[in-house]
A and B are shown apart, each in its own frame.
Chain A
Amino acid sequence: MKKHHLRCIPATFLALSAMLLASTGKHAIAAEPAEAASISKSSSPPRRPEFAVYPPAVRLDGSSDFQSFIAVLRRDDDVTEDATERVNWKIANESIARLVDGKVHPLTDGKTSLVGSYLGTTVSVPVEVHDSAKSPKVSFTNDVMPVLTRASCNTGSCHGAARGKDGFNLSLFGYDPEGDHFRITREIGTRRINLAVPEESLLLRKAVGSVPHTGGKLFETGSDHYKTILAWLKDNVPLDRQTGENAVPTVDRVELYPPQAIIEGDGSQQRMIAVAHYSDGTTRDIEELATFSTNNSTVAAVDQSGLITAGTRGEAFVMARFDTHTVGSQVLTLPENLEYSAPSTEPEPSYVDELVMKKLNQLRIEPSPACSDEEFIRRATIDIAGLLPTEEEFHRFVHDPAEDKRERLVDELLSRKEFSEIWAMKFAQLLMIKSSNQVSYKSALLYANWITDQFAKNRPINEIVQELLTSSGGTFSSPATNFYEIERDVLKTSENVAQVFMGIRTQCAQCHNHPFDRWTMEDYYGFASFFTQVRRKNGEDYREQIIYDTRGGEVNNPVKKKPEPAKYLGGDTVDNKGDHRRVKMAQWLTSGDNPYFATSLANRVWAHFMGVGIVEPVDDIRVSNPASNPELFETLGTKLVEYEFDFRRLVRDICTSDAYARSTQSNPSNAHDSRNYSRALVRRIPAESLLDCICSVTQSPDKFRGMPLGSRAVQIADGKTTNYFLTSFGRSPRATVCECEATTDPSLSQALHLLNGASVNDKIKRGRTLKQWVEQEKMSTPDVIDRIYVRALSRYPTDEERQLLVDQINPEANVVSELEDIYWAVLNSREFVFNH
């Protein structure tokens, strides 16, 4: 066991890490690295501060364009401060642009720079002014639509609802500008707009609340938003060209600055700047148009001008949504005057520990110490093999003096077939392997056996998925084809592929652009078009279906009302002409370059062992549900690719890390943390493994349909086969591909079942282990109690526990029966049911 020594970290390290952080962001940095590095914390103030100016470049197009900016000061201890007000700002060439109310406004075309200086440090960002003489017309798509979105006219609870609100319908979050233009101007040409007297247009009057409006007042008469819409009305409500020449520029990306903020103190504030970049190279300050939100408003609240106010200690993700883009920045809130010094790490920490610790240091969280060997062997055995360590394994491990015994244990566990069975089962859940009216029992069995076989052979996961997705032939002769038999709907299939293999939920985009992610309806239907070629016909056996491909055919996009060409999710459109689009899709999906496949898979693996995914839920990876440790998230994916998708090696990395081997005991700094792996999480053992554990400790196996006595619950092939225990302990019903199907939530029926049900008491009686120990092996009562503890809890009882239990035994009564009661009590303890 390793000891962590707490000691002061040299200031150079801090400065270096600050530099590291700073240089990763795309922003201007004031001080030269050498200079910054040379400054130590001990040097006497004032020292030259280090601050960054956002946005890193300003571009202004047209006379009415403007750009706000912020300066973010990064202290030695990594805490950031909004220094915009403290910095002295000026424009290098004042004939080109000028500063008004903290914004850059254009004067004449040309290039200059915005210069900020503060206590001797000067930062300048380039400013470019184009078309300063032109005042662009109001564009419906790029000016009016954002106002509607910002004013939340088109949210799901308002006019964005599928059937609209109070007779007026807009596309949810504006996915269909042309449709919205029609609905505003033409659907009832005489109601919503009045071109004779634009000010009296109902659209405006409702928005400013001068007539009764269910949605209330959204902006003021005369506000910028009002002016935008009025200008558009006065211009006779033109619609921009969506395609072809002179098409309206589209938003390429949105940037939110600063990319990370570490705020100190309750009530401290940080302004965010959001900039949209358009396809024609122009940019726009969208502070007034983007919608700001936070995923944790008690930690960091954000208002609609992008101003963050820090709250209680913790971590939040602040997002800005504009157009179809959602971007976010991580905000860490720390209490003021927190005394913290980073714990020391091993000289050469594994990449896992390095990245976990990096985050913990930012959060000023001190990790829990390493767990005991007893805890480790139980945890690892349950996680890796789905079993409890046997007494023999336990003793061997605990008494092993070797330095690398944990690594060896992990290796040994990984080589067992139980490991692959767990993962086969997990995939069987995700693939919904289950007999039904449509899928025969035989198909389900063959399918489950196939997937188990793949894992047993330790076939790289990308190859398995590729075979699965490209499979064709009979559902008996080529069991992987059952993938297309269990879910026959094209749209559902594509949704499932995205969710299972990329952790992306695209469902929203079936009807509208994803409100909190980048997925548009084009993406959705484009991806679905990969699966339209799949056809089925009857095999010789009436239970068998034959899956084959036809040529051509795409899914209709209901907004465009035309077929959507096959398009990789977040990637390019593919050439339609070729056959077997599925093959192309599978190659793309499982390639190492795919940004989603390896990371989402690695995240699933990580979540299995750590109790919580870096992105959680593991199958809902999206911009607005960010990774708690993005670097770790990416690195795990990269490693999986590096390991050629042999995820045993990844598991090994995880299970041999310090992060995995932490104690579940919390300390004051990490008590509230559950997402940063500062301590081990206590987890209920999954239903199947729990039943297997009970069966093995009591030596009283269960019998499942179609399987020999002694088979373990993990091995059950058909999702339909279950028993009361499994069902009440939250076994996955395999009805959807959601990871959430298998639950470990406690329930009263679970507690009652353990107490009174057949699973524990009967098994203890039936297993006769105690009888054997007492009657044949003539073990003493304390020894039996020790053995019960080792078997069930992988530890010896404490002296106190032992004494208490010994005292419970009535010497008059039948010792075996008394001990059985103790055994029952132990198996009913929370310690047994949980992996800790």
Chain B
Amino acid sequence: MNITQRLTASICALLNCLASASYAADEKPTNAPEKITFDDHVKPILREHCVFCHEAGEKEGGLAMDTYAALFEGGASGQVLNEDGDLESSRFWKLISHSEEPIMPPGSDRIPDDQLAIVRRWLEMGALKDSGSKAKKKKANALSFVVSSGGRPEGGGAMPQSIPQATRYATERPAATTAIAASPWAPLIAVAGHRQIVLYHGDTAELLGVLPFPEGIAQSLRFSKDGSYLIAGGGEHSVLGKVVVYDVKTGERMATVGDELDTVFDADVNDRVSRVALGGPKKMLRIYEVGEEAPLFEIKKHTDWIYTVAFSPDGVLIASGDRSGGLCVWEAETGRLYLDLVGHKGGIHSVAWRDDSNVLASASADGVVKLWDMNSGKAIKSINIGGPALDVSFDHQGRLVTAGGDNKAKLWKADGGHLRDFPSMPEDVLEVEISHDGKRVIYGDWTGSVMLVSTEGKEPGVPLASNPPSNEARIKELEEKVAAANSEFQIAKQQQTAKQQAANAAADALKQHKLKTTTAQKAVADANASIKDAEKSLKDLDNGINAQASQSRDSIDRLIAARVLVLESPDAKQQKKLVEREQQLAQVMNQLVASRLSKSKQQAALVELQKKLGETQKQVTTLSAGLSTFEGAAQNAAAEVQAAAAAAKPVEVALNQLKAKLERLRKEAAEVQ
């Protein structure tokens, strides 16, 4: 953080403070309850319950409560009340309200609720001494935090691309969880195992890679600020300590730093990945220029094992904490002490920086996570986490996750308010991290089990093993999976085939049906044509009959004429002519009769034809109506075929993926061997 940034931050803080002050000032006159004061209200209560032991003479625990001044002076273990009467951080309140041990008064019931309420109101009103006192201003809220998205790399954080996934070292059970890291910008989680670091997908819990750590056990894992590098500090206890920087995409060891005589408990790199700070049981804080063999700074200040080291996100400061409660902040550039933070009564197990580098969180075995303001160098919040605090971590929104000796991982608001407890573990929770999107926490305990749990806490957690099974076992498992997927695929394929057959049948049926319809339609047309022909021939017949009838009438006429003539002149000629004429008539008449006979025949045929046409037409109608059914069936069947094909596709893809995975694992396992 540069100076302007720091300045802005402090101005912001100042403004905040002014704002809250004026707010408080505004509120006062409108709502003026009776002043609760020490002298008038609280002293009698203390006299009744506390002062017998806590008086100036007896002074149990070094604390006297008989006067206002003495109460604020505190006891042997420090202040019991803040001047501004902040309830949350008041030991006095916690003990008398029995929310913390040792309960006070010891071995007896709590102070009656009505009296307790008075004390509470007294504290809330600013712990006034007497009616003339004025409440002290509440401390400025340095916990106001503006969420920033700074630091997010283009296209999100790096994910493993070509890191081998073969197990490097298989153990039956895991060792206690030593380190977990979550990429700040990608769904990527690293878990330390025995001589290896296991990478998991932060959403799917899929194993993404196994980084070898032949130096021993990584005691610390941290991602670089942009998530591109993974920094592993560790080694072999009492033998060797190293820090290794891995490329997250390829798993390549970019640098190896340090040569400790005992393991490294924690290590971190700065924002530019140019410097590494490390510490361990040798009590020396060493800062290296990456690539250099000799340390840049060797800082001898810690009096006990250094448990934790962390660069501020802006790379300006380094915080380090030790086993006997020493907590220091150093200037990263010069190696000079910037702050010596005094307040913890137990070893510092972990430190974490908020994104803006203004607030440092420290987790201590005394059960408290303290938040320190880097501008003032003061503790601005003490969160009692309910057990020895073993790890702490911020997310991008400034929320905190803590791991505790009460077997719990917990989520806290940015201002230190309690948000949620995650499902308990069987033993001390040693490590905790929160995912890049703040949606999941990852925590591991003494038994070595690591859980990936949603911060909403709705779904059950997923275990992440720090000891993935042996390659043989994993290959076997994959083979089983491939087999299962294969059989699934086969079933899908069979189903697809069956559907296809059904579809083909349906199509055939449709085709048949269509053919039938066409035939029927043609029959109708034929019938119509026949009828037409028949009608025409009938007409022709009629015409012929008509003509024959007129001809016959002519023939009759001529016969009559002939007869007449015969009568008039019965000569042979005439006779002959008459016979001729008679023959002619008979002929015509015969023809007419034949025609008429033909017509009636023809008429009967027409009726027959028309009847047939009706039938055929009916058939056509029925067939036309049935067509849609066949068409639907065919369509359905076709759709089913497509669906089956679609269903088979992912199975096939999965199968292929599994096959590829198996192939990869086989290959990589062979390489590892």
Residues on A facing B (Cβ under 8 Å): 167, 186, 189-191, 193-197, 202, 205-206, 211-213, 236
10 nearest A-B pairs in the assembled complex, by CB-CB distance: A196-B175, A211-B238, A196-B171, A189-B176, A202-B237, A189-B446, A190-B178, A194-B175, A196-B194, A190-B176
Question: For the complex, what is the distance from the CA of A74 to the CA of B314, rounded to whole Å?
Answer: 85
B448 touches A196 (CB 8 A): yes
Interface string of B443-464 (1 = CB under 8 A from A): 0001110000000000000000
Question: For the complex, what is the distance from the CA of A193 to the CA of B448, rounded to whole Å?
Answer: 12
B304 touches A195 (CB 8 A): no
Assess whether B394 is interfacial by the CB under 8 Å rule.
no
Question: For the complex, what is the distance from the CA of A388 to the CA of B640, rounded to whole Å?
Answer: 130
Assess whether B167 is interfacial by the CB under 8 Å rule.
no
| Chain B residue contacts of A212, Cβ below 8 A | 238-239, 261
Report the minimum CB–CB distance from B1 to chain A (whole Å).
33
Question: For the complex, what is the distance from the CA of A167 to the CA of B175, rounded to whole Å?
Answer: 21
Assess whether B320 is interfacial by the CB under 8 Å rule.
no
- Chain A residue, CB-CB nearest to B194: A196
A195 touches B239 (CB 8 A): no
Assess whether B430 is interfacial by the CB under 8 Å rule.
yes
Q: A189-B430, A202-B237, A212-B239 are in contact. Are A195 and B448 (CB under 8 A)?
A: yes
Report the minimum CB–CB distance from B27 to chain A (whole Å).
46
Assess whether B281 is interfacial by the CB under 8 Å rule.
yes
Question: For the complex, what is the distance from the CA of A613 to the CA of B166, rounded to whole Å?
Answer: 76
Report the minimum CB–CB distance from B470 to chain A (whole Å).
13
Report the minimum CB–CB distance from A100 to chain B (whole Å).
33
Which of B166-225 touch A at CB < 8 Å? 171-178, 193-194, 217, 219
Question: For the complex, what is the distance from the CA of A213 to the CA of B446, rounded to whole Å?
Answer: 25
Q: A167-B304, A190-B178 are in contact. Are A196 and B173 (CB under 8 A)?
A: yes
A195 touches B238 (CB 8 A): no
Question: For the complex, what is the distance from the CA of A497 to the CA of B169, rounded to whole Å?
Answer: 62
Report the minimum CB–CB distance from B483 to chain A (whole Å).
31
| Chain B residue contacts of A186, Cβ below 8 A | 427-428, 446
Assess whether B91 is interfacial by the CB under 8 Å rule.
no
| Chain B residue contacts of A191, Cβ below 8 A | 237, 263
Report the minimum CB–CB distance from A190 to chain B (whole Å).
5
Assess whether B323 is interfacial by the CB under 8 Å rule.
yes
Report the minimum CB–CB distance from B430 to chain A (whole Å).
6
**Subset of 29 A-B contacts with CB under 8 Å:** A167-B281, A167-B323, A186-B427, A186-B428, A186-B446, A189-B427, A189-B428, A189-B446, A190-B178, A190-B219, A190-B430, A191-B237, A193-B176, A195-B175, A195-B176, A195-B448, A196-B171, A196-B172, A196-B194, A196-B448, A196-B467, A197-B175, A202-B237, A202-B238, A205-B237, A211-B239, A212-B238, A212-B261, A236-B173
| Chain A residue contacts of B219, Cβ below 8 A | 190
| Chain B residue contacts of A206, Cβ below 8 A | 238
Assess whether B305 is interfacial by the CB under 8 Å rule.
yes
Report the minimum CB–CB distance from A197 to chain B (whole Å).
6
Question: For the complex, what is the distance from the CA of A211 to the CA of B241, rounded to whole Å?
Answer: 13
Question: For the complex, what is the distance from the CA of A189 to the CA of B449, rounded to whole Å?
Answer: 13
B174 touches A195 (CB 8 A): yes
B238 touches A213 (CB 8 A): yes
Question: For the complex, what is the distance from the CA of A212 to the CA of B282, rounded to whole Å?
Answer: 13
Interface string of B231-255 (1 = CB under 8 A from A): 0000011110000000000000000
Question: For the complex, what is the distance from the CA of A236 to the CA of B174, rounded to whole Å?
Answer: 11
Which of B129-180 touch A at CB < 8 Å? 171-178
Question: For the complex, what is the distance from the CA of A196 to the CA of B447, rounded to whole Å?
Answer: 10
Question: For the complex, what is the distance from the CA of A667 to the CA of B393, rounded to whole Å?
Answer: 82
Report the minimum CB–CB distance from A169 to chain B (whole Å).
11
B305 touches which of A167, A189, A211, A213 (Cβ 8 Å): A167
Question: For the complex, what is the distance from the CA of A189 to the CA of B175, rounded to whole Å?
Answer: 9
| Chain A residue contacts of B193, Cβ below 8 A | 196
Greatest chain B CB density within 10 A among A167, A189, A205 is at A189
B428 touches A196 (CB 8 A): no
Q: A167-B323, A190-B219, A205-B238 are in contact. Are A196 and B430 (CB under 8 A)?
A: no
| Chain B residue contacts of A211, Cβ below 8 A | 236-239
Chain B residues within 8 Å of chain A by Cβ, number: 29
Question: For the complex, what is the distance from the CA of A211 to the CA of B263, rounded to whole Å?
Answer: 12
| Chain A residue contacts of B304, Cβ below 8 A | 167
- Chain A residue, CB-CB nearest to B466: A196
| Chain A residue contacts of B236, Cβ below 8 A | 211
Given contacts A189-B428, A212-B239, 8 further A-B contacts (CB under 8 A): A189-B427, A191-B237, A194-B194, A195-B173, A196-B172, A196-B173, A196-B193, A213-B238
Question: For the complex, what is the distance from the CA of A642 to the CA of B168, rounded to whole Å?
Answer: 80
| Chain A residue contacts of B281, Cβ below 8 A | 167
A196 touches B174 (CB 8 A): yes
| Chain A residue contacts of B175, Cβ below 8 A | 190, 194-197
Report the minimum CB–CB distance from B310 to chain A (whole Å).
18
- Chain A residue, CB-CB nearest to B281: A167
| Chain A residue contacts of B174, Cβ below 8 A | 195-196
Question: For the complex, what is the distance from the CA of A205 to the CA of B176, rounded to whole Å?
Answer: 18
- Chain A residue, CB-CB nearest to B307: A188
Report the minimum CB–CB distance from A200 to chain B (whole Å).
8
- Chain A residue, CB-CB nearest to B239: A211
Question: For the complex, what is the distance from the CA of A212 to the CA of B260, rounded to whole Å?
Answer: 13
| Chain B residue contacts of A189, Cβ below 8 A | 176, 427-428, 430, 446
Report the minimum CB–CB distance from A593 to chain B (whole Å).
36
Report the minimum CB–CB distance from B187 to chain A (whole Å).
26
Report the minimum CB–CB distance from B642 to chain A (whole Å).
52
Question: For the complex, what is the distance from the CA of A206 to the CA of B428, rounded to whole Å?
Answer: 25
Report the minimum CB–CB distance from B429 to chain A (whole Å).
10
Greatest chain A CB density within 10 A among B172, B175, B428 is at B175
Question: For the complex, what is the distance from the CA of A337 to the CA of B304, rounded to whole Å?
Answer: 62
Question: For the complex, what is the distance from the CA of A167 to the CA of B265, rounded to whole Å?
Answer: 14
Question: For the complex, what is the distance from the CA of A189 to the CA of B347, rounded to whole Å?
Answer: 14
- Chain B residue, CB-CB nearest to A191: B237
Question: For the complex, what is the distance from the CA of A189 to the CA of B427, rounded to whole Å?
Answer: 10
Question: For the complex, what is the distance from the CA of A610 to the CA of B363, rounded to whole Å?
Answer: 65
Question: For the complex, what is the distance from the CA of A205 to the CA of B216, rounded to whole Å?
Answer: 14
Report the minimum CB–CB distance from B369 to chain A (whole Å).
19
Report the minimum CB–CB distance from B179 to chain A (whole Å).
9
Question: For the complex, what is the distance from the CA of A764 to the CA of B300, rounded to whole Å?
Answer: 70
| Chain B residue contacts of A190, Cβ below 8 A | 175-178, 217, 219, 430
Question: For the complex, what is the distance from the CA of A196 to the CA of B43, rounded to whole Å?
Answer: 58
Question: For the complex, what is the distance from the CA of A191 to the CA of B236, rounded to whole Å?
Answer: 10
Question: For the complex, what is the distance from the CA of A672 to the CA of B219, rounded to whole Å?
Answer: 63
Question: For the complex, what is the distance from the CA of A193 to the CA of B237, rounded to whole Å?
Answer: 10
Report the minimum CB–CB distance from B192 to chain A (whole Å).
9
Question: For the complex, what is the distance from the CA of A186 to the CA of B193, rounded to whole Å?
Answer: 18
Report the minimum CB–CB distance from A554 to chain B (whole Å).
13
| Chain A residue contacts of B239, Cβ below 8 A | 211-212
Question: For the complex, what is the distance from the CA of A173 to the CA of B454, rounded to whole Å?
Answer: 47
| Chain A residue contacts of B177, Cβ below 8 A | 190
Q: A167-B281, A167-B305, A189-B176 are in contact. Are A197 and B237 (CB under 8 A)?
A: no
Question: For the complex, what is the distance from the CA of A206 to the CA of B281, rounded to whole Å?
Answer: 15
Question: For the complex, what is the distance from the CA of A197 to the CA of B171, rounded to whole Å?
Answer: 7
| Chain A residue contacts of B238, Cβ below 8 A | 202, 205-206, 211-213
Question: For the complex, what is the distance from the CA of A196 to the CA of B177, rounded to whole Å?
Answer: 10
| Chain A residue contacts of B194, Cβ below 8 A | 194, 196-197
| Chain A residue contacts of B217, Cβ below 8 A | 190, 194
Question: For the complex, what is the distance from the CA of A205 to the CA of B177, rounded to whole Å?
Answer: 20
| Chain A residue contacts of B447, Cβ below 8 A | 195
Question: For the complex, what is the distance from the CA of A328 to the CA of B572, rounded to whole Å?
Answer: 189
Question: For the complex, what is the distance from the CA of A197 to the CA of B467, rounded to whole Å?
Answer: 11
- Chain B residue, CB-CB nearest to A212: B238
| Chain A residue contacts of B172, Cβ below 8 A | 196
| Chain B residue contacts of A167, Cβ below 8 A | 281, 304-305, 323
Which of B88-117 touch A at CB < 8 Å? none
Question: For the complex, what is the distance from the CA of A236 to the CA of B176, rounded to whole Å?
Answer: 11
Question: For the complex, what is the distance from the CA of A197 to the CA of B430, rounded to whole Å?
Answer: 19
Question: For the complex, what is the distance from the CA of A193 to the CA of B427, rounded to whole Å?
Answer: 15
Question: For the complex, what is the distance from the CA of A832 to the CA of B12, rounded to whole Å?
Answer: 92
Report the minimum CB–CB distance from A94 to chain B (whole Å).
40
